[in-house]
């Protein structure tokens, strides 16, 4: 049998299918859009098709993300904090700190040696420094969001973005462009501002983090500039999986497998 | 408008206060007393005093004054879902939108004529400087006399005598502005009622500490902060006894309640006042029960009816929000131990220096004894700022985290 994890975020709906041996067979990332049930169906179809598995071969589904209650076939809904922690430990078993920056949330989690969450912190009150923030900045710079990654190459770090309110930061970027600041310097300034905010969040839960392996998940982890700025601020190299968007869905699939096994009746002896 | 609202609420509660078993439902009795206080405040039958939280309400009761702290009104506006409009009015009048919404809602209600006009006001320097500012604004708004109690930080030196003397002077101030004299016999009667209430509260809290606790998350919501408004009256005695008796009944039937309590939680400071499903979510989906709130405790000794002013002073000084943060953290640690708490929830009410300023120290202090803390960032009065999904994710993740931890008390 197979197990499906679905992570319905504000920007993307991600799915991962695993087999009985907990091997990931396929992953999908589709835009969530306004109708998240459509996104759930598209992401599910995509992983089933890629893995050559039919719907009735899926033994259990666990959902996560802000739209987790919208998955009708779910065995359980589990928060993205638990799912990301579970997913990253499957990929990088040494991880003790996980930074997950998605569409509208930033989260930092502190894990024990065994992978249990002992503390976590999330962004408060506003979504500055998340995927939505980067989208707005890309718009101000008139570049595609995917182009933002690496656009800071060669920057000397001469620009500082002082405002973390998305609207004010956008105005600041527009002013910097008008003043003739180089795009790579502006992008470096933005990356550093996101890193500073994230590090503050991280220090709340792990003030003494220097020795602990840090990993990153979520869509923003695809942006190498942000990852680099974070590594610079923390004084370490971050562990980033090839598909950081699907870490939560992978964790959800692993929990689906575990819970399905737990809910199966114990085999009875026959004479 | 308000008087009609409280009158209808009182009528409804009176008809529903007894269950099918004929027993009084203590939570409904609590709501009934809240409605009755609201009705008295609006009725115009006795002088009204708007006060700070640490005012001696039993003394004012004995003198025939209907009194309340102003945050009570902010909370009522939130419960009824109308706080937002009054907060907007206050903001338009120049109050900072970063300020406490309890006080902004009150200022808006006063400027729109919704608050009953006071005969006088009694501010207090503790626990809340924002509250004192609100009281001073109200005194200016109504052009009514104001007196301020300077609450010392602890009982050292001559602090008790200093505050006791201020409370004596307060009695004279009340007489000067209402014509109501201080009657020693009525004060004695009020103090005796306060002591009877205190005794029942001690028994009730001792029962609430049992495992499993007879208290549900909703039972004692706001209880410790609101009950002082009724102190000195027979109603307060009846209310505390009703809770004590109900908890004793539930403890006797504990096998039926045992299943619903996987985690025991402590709520720090005040609850979220507007309607939301957080407590229900915790209790129904996760069997996580809020068994104690920070202010649900008796921190003061019985008051000697022969020296009432000294006893009232000691009580005002004793509240956990008064004094150093170290003292507050020690009190929270004491509650965590007494109630065998698995985790604590701190709403960190926006604009509240106690809530947000103490956050780090409280978290560190509770984690020191193995109790994790969930810090939320919630405006406890303005429901327009409440993002249910965000709060829900934090709360659910916290409970999932508790599942992975061993109890600090095993």
Which residue, chain included where needed, has tokens 């508790």? B402
Q: Which residue of B has its CA nearest to A127?
A: B390
Question: CATH number of the domain that A18 lies in?
Answer: 3.30.420.40
B287 inside 8 A of chain A by CB: no
Residue B53 to residues B70, B180, B410, Cα–Cα distance (Å): 8, 22, 38
A224 inside 8 A of chain B by CB: no
How many other CB atoms are found less than 10 A from the CB of residue A55?
11
- Which of A80, A103, A117 to mutate to test binding with chain B, by most B CBs within 10 Å of its CB? A117
Whole-number pLDDT of residue A268: 47
Whole-number pLDDT of residue A269: 42
- Predicted complex: ipTM over 0.95: no
Residues within 8 A of B (CB atoms), A 117-136 only: 117-122, 124-125
Are A126 and A35 in a shared domain?
A: no
**A-chain residues within 8 Å CB-CB of B396?**
79
Whole-number pLDDT of residue A271: 36
Mean pLDDT of the residues in chain A: 91
Cβ atoms of residues A149 and A225 within 8 Å: yes
Reported as a single tens digit per residue, the pLDDT across B13-61 is 998 888 778 888 999 999 999 999 999 999 999 999 999 999 999 999 9
Q: Which residue of B has its CA nearest to A118?
A: B401
pLDDT higher than threshold 60 for residue A5:
yes
Distance from the Cα of A97 to chain B's closest Cα (Å) equals 15
Are A43 and A102 in a shared domain?
A: no
Kindly provide the residue ranges of all beta strands, DSSP E only, lying in B39-134, ordered along the sequence. 48-51, 66-69, 120-124
CA distance A136 to A167: 8
**Does residue A199 lie in a domain region?**
yes
DSSP code of residue B272: P
| % of chain A exceeding 70 in pLDDT | 97
What is the sign, positive or negative, of the torsion defined by CA atoms of A132, A137, A140, A143?
A: negative
Are A41 and A133 in a shared domain?
A: no
CA distance B68 to B74: 11
Query: What is the domain range of residue A153?
Result: 93-240
**Does residue A161 lie in a domain region?**
yes
Are A126 and A220 in a shared domain?
A: yes
- Select the residue of B377, B390, B397 nearest A120 (Cβ to Cβ): B397
- Partner-chain contact B400 A118, CB within 8 Å: no
Cβ atoms of residues B303 and B195 within 8 Å: yes
Partnered with residue B67 across adjacent β-strands are B49
CA distance A40 to A57: 18
CA distance A30 to A16: 12
Cβ atoms of residues B330 and B255 within 8 Å: no
A7 inside 8 A of chain B by CB: no
- Partner-chain contact B396 A66, CB within 8 Å: no
CA end-to-end distance (rounded Å), chain B: 54
Reported as a single tens digit per residue, the pLDDT across A71-121 is 999 999 999 999 999 999 999 999 999 999 988 889 999 999 999 999 999
Distance from the Cα of A47 to chain B's closest Cα (Å) equals 26
Distance from the Cα of B349 to chain A's closest Cα (Å) equals 12
- Partner-chain contact B405 A81, CB within 8 Å: no
pLDDT higher than threshold 70 for residue A266:
no
Q: What would you measure as the largest C-alpha separation in chain A, in angstroms? A: 86
Of A79 and A10, the structure prediction assigns the larger pLDDT to A79
**B-chain residues within 8 Å CB-CB of A118?**
372, 401, 405
SS (HEC) of A196-254: HHHHHHHHHHCCCCCCCCEEEECHHHHCHHHHHHHHHHHCCCCECCCCHHHHHHHHHHH
Counted residue by residue, chain A has a size of: 271
Reported as a single tens digit per residue, the pLDDT across B295-304 is 999 999 999 9
Three-state DSSP class for A63?
strand
**Domain B2-181: assigned CATH number:** 3.40.50.11890
User: Mean pLDDT over residues A49-71, rounded?
Assistant: 95
**A-chain residues within 8 Å CB-CB of B402?**
none
B401 inside 8 A of chain A by CB: yes
Which residue, chain included where needed, has tokens 């009746």? A265
Whole-number pLDDT of residue A247: 97
Helices B83-92 and B70-79: angle between axes, nearest 10 degrees: 130
Are A17 and A54 in a shared domain?
A: yes
| % of chain B exceeding 90 in pLDDT | 82
Contacts A–B by Cβ distance under 8 A = 38
B404 inside 8 A of chain A by CB: yes
pLDDT higher than threshold 90 for residue A125:
no
Are A121 and A230 in a shared domain?
A: yes
Are A181 and A106 in a shared domain?
A: yes
**Does residue A142 lie in a domain region?**
yes
Domains B2-181 and B185-403 are alike in CATH topology: yes
Tokens representing B158? Answer: 């001559």
The candidate with the shortest Cα–Cα distance to A83, out of A204, A193, A217, A196, is A217
Statement: B185-403 belongs to CATH 2.60.40.10: no
Give the domain ranges of chain B. Answer: 2-181, 185-403
Q: Number of structural domains, chain A?
A: 2
Q: Is B299 exposed, middle or buried (0-12, 13-18, 19+ CB in 10 A)?
A: middle
Whole-number pLDDT of residue A265: 60
Are A78 and A121 in a shared domain?
A: no
- Partner-chain contact B400 A124, CB within 8 Å: no
The candidate with the shortest Cα–Cα distance to B167, out of B300, B54, B312, B63, is B312
Whole-number pLDDT of residue A151: 87
- b/e code A166-181 from CB counts within 10 Å (16+ = b): beebbebbeebeeeee
Are A78 and A110 in a shared domain?
A: no
Are A100 and A212 in a shared domain?
A: yes
Which residues of chain B carry a pLDDT beneath 50? Answer: 257
- Select the residue of B372, B394, B405 nearest A122 (Cβ to Cβ): B394
Are A75 and A123 in a shared domain?
A: no
**Does residue A269 lie in a domain region?**
no
CA distance B139 to B122: 9
Kindly provide the residue ranges of all beta strands, DSSP E only, lying in chain A, ordered along the sequence. 2-8, 12-18, 24-31, 58-64, 76-77, 97-101, 106-111, 117-122, 214-217
Whole-number pLDDT of residue A210: 76
CA distance B147 to B100: 22
- Select the residue of A66, A116, A124 nearest B389 (Cβ to Cβ): A66
Tokens representing B127? Answer: 């626990």
How many other CB atoms are found less than 10 A from the CB of residue A158?
11
CA distance A241 to A27: 13
A37 inside 8 A of chain B by CB: no
B405 inside 8 A of chain A by CB: yes
Are A111 and A222 in a shared domain?
A: yes
B203 inside 8 A of chain A by CB: no
**Does residue A268 lie in a domain region?**
no
B18 inside 8 A of chain A by CB: no
**Does residue A270 lie in a domain region?**
no
Distance from the Cα of B287 to chain A's closest Cα (Å) equals 16
**Does residue A213 lie in a domain region?**
yes
Q: Which residue of B has its CA nearest to A84?
A: B397
Q: Is B184 exposed, middle or buried (0-12, 13-18, 19+ CB in 10 A)?
A: exposed
- Select the residue of B372, B396, B404 nearest A79 (Cβ to Cβ): B396
Q: Which residues lie below 8 Å from residue A118, measured CB to CB, with a gap of 6+?
A: A110, A111, A112, B372, B401, B405
User: Mean pLDDT over residues A206-229, rounded?
Assistant: 91
Whole-number pLDDT of residue B256: 54
Residue A140 to residues A10, A145, A164, A167, A187, Cα–Cα distance (Å): 21, 11, 15, 10, 11
- Partner-chain contact A82 B405, CB within 8 Å: no
CA distance B410 to B408: 6
Distance from the Cα of B402 to chain A's closest Cα (Å) equals 8
């Amino acid at each position: 049998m197979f197990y499906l994890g679905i992570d319905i975020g504000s920007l993307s709906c991600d799915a991962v299918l695993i087999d009985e041996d907990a091997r990931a067979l396929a992953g999908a990332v589709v835009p969530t859009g306004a109708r998240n049930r459509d996104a759930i169906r598209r992401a599910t179809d995509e992983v089933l098709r890629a893995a050559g598995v039919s719907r009735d071969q899926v033994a259990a589904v666990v959902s996560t993300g802000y739209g987790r209650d919208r998955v009708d076939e779910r065995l359980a809904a589990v928060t993205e904090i638990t799912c990301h922690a579970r997913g990253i430990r499957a990929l990088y078993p040494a991880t003790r700190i996980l930074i997950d920056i998605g569409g509208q949330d930033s989260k930092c989690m502190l894990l024990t040696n065994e992978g249990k969450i002992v503390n976590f912190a999330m962004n408060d009150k506003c979504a500055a420094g998340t995927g939505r923030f980067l989208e707005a900045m890309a718009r101000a710079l008139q570049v595609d969001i995917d182009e933002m990654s690496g656009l800071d190459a060669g920057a000397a770090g001469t620009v500082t973005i002082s405002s973390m309110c998305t609207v004010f930061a956008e105005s600041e970027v527009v002013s910097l462009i008008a003043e003739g600041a180089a795009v790579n310097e502006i992008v470096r300034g933005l990356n550093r501002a996101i890193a500073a905010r994230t590090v503050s969040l991280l220090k709340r839960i792990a003030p003494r983090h220097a020795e602990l392996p840090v990993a990153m998940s979520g869509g923003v982890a695809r942006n190498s500039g942000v990852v680099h700025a974070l590594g610079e601020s923390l004084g370490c190299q971050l562990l980033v999986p090839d598909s950081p968007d699907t870490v939560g869905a992978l964790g959800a699939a692993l929990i689906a497998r575990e819970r399905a096994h737990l809910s199966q009746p114990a085999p009875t002896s026959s004479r | 408008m308000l008087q009609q609202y409280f009158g209808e609420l009182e009528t409804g509660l009176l008809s529903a206060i007894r269950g099918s078993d004929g027993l009084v439902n203590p939570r409904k009795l609590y709501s009934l007393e809240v409605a009755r206080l609201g009705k008295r405040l609006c009725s115009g039958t006795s002088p009204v005093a708007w006060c700070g939280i640490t005012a001696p309400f039993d003394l004012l009761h004995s003198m025939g004054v209907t009194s309340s702290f102003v945050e009570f009104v902010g909370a009522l506006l939130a419960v009824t879902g109308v706080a937002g409009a009054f907060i907007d009015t206050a903001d338009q009048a120049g109050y900072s939108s970063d300020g406490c919404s309890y006080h902004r809602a009150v200022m808006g209600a006063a400027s729109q004529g919704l608050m009953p006009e006071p005969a006088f006001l009694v501010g207090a320097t503790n626990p809340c400087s924002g509250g004192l500012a609100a009281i001073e604004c109200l005194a200016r708004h109504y052009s009514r006399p104001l007196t301020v109690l300077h609450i010392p930080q602890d009982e050292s030196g001559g602090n008790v005598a200093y505050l006791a003397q201020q409370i004596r002077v307060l009695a004279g101030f009340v007489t000067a502005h209402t014509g109501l004299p201080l009657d020693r016999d009525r004060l004695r009667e009020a103090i005796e009622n306060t002591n009877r209430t205190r005794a029942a509260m001690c028994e009730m809290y001792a029962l609430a500490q049992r495992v499993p606790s007879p208290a549900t998350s909703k039972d004692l919501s706001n209880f410790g902060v609101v009950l002082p408004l009724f102190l000195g009256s027979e109603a307060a005695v009846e209310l505390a006894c009703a809770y004590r008796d109900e908890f004793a009944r539930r403890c006797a039937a504990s096998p039926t309640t045992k299943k619903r309590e996987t985690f025991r939680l402590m709520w720090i400071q005040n609850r979220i006042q507007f309607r939301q499903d957080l407590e229900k979510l915790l209790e129904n989906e996760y069997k996580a029960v809020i068994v104690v709130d920070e202010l649900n405790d008796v921190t003061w000794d019985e008051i000697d009816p022969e020296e009432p002013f000294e006893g009232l002073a000691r009580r005002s000084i004793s509240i956990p929000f008064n004094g150093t943060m170290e003292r507050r953290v020690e009190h929270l640690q004491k509650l965590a131990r007494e109630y065998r708490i698995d985790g604590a929830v701190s709403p960190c009410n926006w604009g509240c220096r106690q809530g947000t300023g103490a956050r780090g120290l409280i978290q560190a202090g509770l984690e020191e004894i193995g109790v994790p803390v969930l810090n939320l960032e919630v405006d406890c009065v303005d429901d327009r700022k409440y993002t249910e999904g965000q709060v829900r994710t934090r709360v659910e993740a916290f409970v999932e985290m508790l599942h992975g931890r061993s109890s600090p008390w095993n």
